[in-house]
Structure formats: structure tokens, C-alpha cells
Amino acid sequence: MKLQQIRYFLAVTEERNFTRAAARLGVGQPPLSMQIKELELEIGAPLFHRLRSGAELTDAGRAFFAIAKSIPTRAEEAIRAARRAARGETGRLALGVTTTTAMNPAIPSAVRTFKRKFPDVEFRFEEANSLRLIDDLLAGDLDFAIIRPNGAEPATLAVHHLIDEPLAAALPTALAGRFGPGEIELAALREHPFIMTPPSAGLGLRNASIRACIAAGFDPPIGPGAPHIAAILSLVSAELGIALVPDSTRRIGIGGVAYRPLKPPVPTVAIAFAHLGENPAQPALNFAKILLAVMGAARTAS
């Protein structure tokens, strides 16, 4: 059964005449009559009484019409729905971020822009460390993740570098007072334990901190581990050590913690986004375009 046959049947039903139906549809009457005949053969019953004055529905025709009359509209709706889904205007975007990447102002700006442009996309947000976000991407629980890359991400993911964010020192306020308000040499902190995320919680920020210390001429003494940035800052506040944190973390105000910029060369930590390499969800690709545009605008403005 073809949609064209349904349209021909409905036209004859409404016009009660094969000739008028053919004229309305812009086709010849013989092809129209042939399509109706094929439809009747498939159904196994005549749909019209052929009269000298026109055509009337049979009992089978009336039963068929009761359901078939909505088919063209539903088909158009299905086509529109499929096209919208193909453009990523509907569907789902499950977005994952790490606590520190979420602090970058470009991230909420991109989310805000995406929701305004694609209001019918179901949006879900998850916060976790980079290793957990990658696992959730691979499991299909996430469509898009903003991570701290470590260079060992699975080959099945498409990973795109966004920016390198400067690192700053998070110090207990008493210690920060000894250095004053300005930039400090990273090497001046060599005697203090560094609070970092354990390897099981993610390597991006941890590796960046260790590389920065080595570049400054020392191996950092490792203090107690903390699984996320809030816990790191809490341990700094408790004067259990110091930490290198992304500069955007300065937005987190915790009593007992002071932030200090580092003297050049300022170490950095990368932000990247990731999604499935094969058959990524179209909403994820749409969000990637928006995120890249927002990041580009931020770099231009600065």
C-alpha cells in the first residue's frame, strides 16, 4: 500500500467523482483509476460503487476511510519529526562536566545558548570526574562531556581540545599573607605538601600540577588526596597543604583559602570536549558548534 494510493482514494471520496479527483490532483484519470484498482486488489474488496453520476463508498470503503483519512496528516507529521530529529532539534543531550570545567564561564554560556536555540531537546546534566564521564560516554549514558584530558582517552571517542586554562595557587590564608597579594614563584611553594586528586579520580589536573612543579625545578611533596575541587579546597582551608587549581576556580569562595596568580611562565591545564567518534547524537554535534563559537568569542573579547 502506497501513500499515493491513500491520497488518490481520499480525493475520490471527497469529490465523489473520479474525473474531478484526477483534475484536483493534477493527474490523468486512467492512472488514478489504476491506483485505486490496485488498492482494492490489495484490500480484497471494492471501495467504491462506480456510478454514472460519480462514485460512492462501499461499506468496505467507509470502514477504510474512517482510518485512512488521518494517514496523510500523520505521514506529514512523521516526516517533519524525522527532519527535526535529523537536525538535532529534538531528542536528548546528556551533558557531563567536571566540577572545575563547569567553572569556566563559557560552559554555562554555551548551555544557555543551546537551550534557547533548541528548546525541544531534552537536557540532562551530570557532574563527575573525567574518568567517570568517559565511562558514561562509552556506556551511552552521556552524549557529550567536557573533561580534563590526559592523552589516554579511548580511541572510540572524538576528543577536541578547547583551551589551556592558567593554573593558580590555592593557599591557606595565613600562608598567602606571607607572600603578599601579587604573583608568586611556584618554586617558593616547594616545601609545602600539594593536595591533588588521586589517580582513580582523574589525571588531567593531577598531571598538570606535577608537570608544573617539575618545570619549576622540584618534585612536589604529595599531601592528602581529595576526589574533587571542593574537597581539595577544604583541605587547603584546613591548612593540610596547598593546591594548583584552574584559574576559574577563583569563583569558589571558601573561608580560609586565598588564591594567588603564578609568575610566568604560567602553567596551564587543558579543557577538552568528547563525544562518540561514530554516530554521535546530532544534539551533541550542535552543542559542540555552539561551545566552539562561545569559546572563540571569549578569546576574541579578551
The pLDDT value recorded for residue 202 is 74
188 shares a domain with 228 = yes
109 shares a domain with 59 = no
Number of domains in the chain: 3
Q: What is the CATH number of the domain that holds 97?
A: 3.40.190.10
Half-sphere exposure of 249 (CA within 13 A, CB side): 29
286 shares a domain with 263 = no
The pLDDT value recorded for residue 297 is 84
152 shares a domain with 292 = yes
Question: What confidence tens digit (pLDDT) does each residue in 179-192 have?
Answer: 888 899 999 999 99
* Residue 244: strand pairing partners: 169
7 shares a domain with 21 = yes
157 shares a domain with 67 = no
The pLDDT value recorded for residue 80 is 93
98 shares a domain with 182 = no
138 shares a domain with 184 = no
At which of 55, 84, 113 does a domain end?
84
Question: Which domain covers residue 155, as residue numbers?
Answer: 91-162+271-301
C-alpha torsion 5→9→10→13, nearest 10: 170
| Range from 6-10, 88-92, 99-103, 198-202 carrying the lowest mean pLDDT | 198-202
Closest CA to 121 of 88, 86, 83, 81: 88
The Cβ of residue 47 has, within 10 Å, a number of other Cβ atoms equal to 23
Name which residue leads in pLDDT, 297 or 171: 171
C-alpha torsion 150→152→156→157, nearest 10: 0
51 shares a domain with 24 = yes
Question: What confidence tens digit (pLDDT) does each residue in 60-114 have?
Answer: 999 999 999 999 999 999 999 999 999 999 999 999 998 888 888 899 999 999 9
191 shares a domain with 275 = no
Helix (H, G, I), strand (E, B) or coil at 72: helix
What string of H, E and C letters represents the secondary structure of 173-214?
Answer: HHHHHHHCCCCECHHHHCCCCECCCCHHHCCHHHHHHHHHHH
56 shares a domain with 185 = no
Q: What is the CATH number of the domain that holds 12?
A: 1.10.10.10
Omega before residue 265 within 30° of 0, cis = yes
The pLDDT value recorded for residue 302 is 62
Residue 169 near residue 213 (C-beta atoms within 8 A): no
For the chain, the maximum distance between any two Cα atoms, rounded to a whole number of angstroms, is: 106
The Cα–Cα gap between 288 and 273 comes to 8
At which of 84, 110, 130 does a domain end?
84
Residue 252 near residue 230 (C-beta atoms within 8 A): yes
**In Å, what is the CA distance from 191 to each residue of 54, 91, 214, 265?**
100, 52, 13, 20
**In Å, what is the CA distance from 274 to each residue of 130, 131, 146?**
10, 12, 6
**In Å, what is the CA distance from 91 to each residue of 10, 39, 95, 122, 280?**
33, 36, 13, 6, 12
197 shares a domain with 49 = no
At which of 49, 84, 119 does a domain end?
84
